[in-house]
Amino acid sequence: MGYLSKTFNNMANLDTRSEIMYGLYKTPKFGDRDYPELSMDFVLPLDFMVKWERCSLTSDYLAQYQSYSFYLSRKVEILLSTIINELIENAVKFSSDQNKLITISIRHFKDYVQIESVNVTDDHNRNRLADFITLLHSTTDAEALFLSQLEKSFLGDGSDSSGLGILSILKGYKLDLGIKVSSVSESLHTHRVYFQVLVPTKS
């Protein structure tokens, strides 16, 4: 499922200035596509969680636009829409409030398409995310982890940070996931969260 740049028993106990990285997080090198082919910024409205169809509309639009780069465009469109939808939901979940800017960007490389969400969060959500990354690092069996978290959610145990959407991507599509969390402002206790999913352009 991925790897950690360092091994930590409990990353939530790390100094909040420490950068956390998990999986195959790719930063474009000079000469690569260091700009997004498609990008969308939006501020989460207070009713975003209630009117969730806006998330689907955004996901479908971005997916349809990008799917024309693929031979089996309709099949890829559904996959991209699912991934983008989960990344938006995840950004909502790990944002410090519902009025923060979220960026969704897509970069098309030779062998893969990189889909990335970026949002800002606080210490509390940063620690929740650190616990989720620790959970991801605990096993290479995405399906078993998904079922375990699903059971906890039904029982009301830890559902607040279950990560079922991200786990469903790992379980269902076996794609590479990369996560990076870096400090933005020590005084304001804010952190920038990056989630990346890499979709191969060739099967």
Determine the pLDDT at residue 1. 45
- Of residues 37 and 127, the one with the higher pLDDT is 127
Q: How many domains does the chain have?
A: 1
Tokens of 67: 């799917």
Asked whether residue 72 is assigned to any structural domain, the reply reads yes
Neighbours of 64 (CB within 10 A): 14
- Of residues 33 and 69, the one with the higher pLDDT is 69
Taking alpha carbons only, the member of 175, 182, 180 closest to residue 197 is 175
pLDDT at 97 over 70: no
What range does the domain containing 87 cover? 11-200
Determine the pLDDT at residue 181. 92
Determine the pLDDT at residue 57. 84
Contact 16, 172 (CB under 8 A): no
Asked whether residue 34 is assigned to any structural domain, the reply reads yes
Number of helical H runs and strand E runs in the chain: 5, 6
Contact 62, 38 (CB under 8 A): yes
The residue-averaged pLDDT of 12-25 equals 75
The confidence band for 5, taking pLDDT boundaries of 50, 70 and 90, is very low
Please give the mean pLDDT across all residues of the chain. 78
Asked whether residue 53 is assigned to any structural domain, the reply reads yes
Asked whether residue 4 is assigned to any structural domain, the reply reads no
Tokens of 68: 């024309």
Asked whether residue 1 is assigned to any structural domain, the reply reads no
pLDDT at 23 over 90: no
At 169-192, the pLDDT tens digits run 888 888 899 999 998 888 888 899
Asked whether residue 5 is assigned to any structural domain, the reply reads no
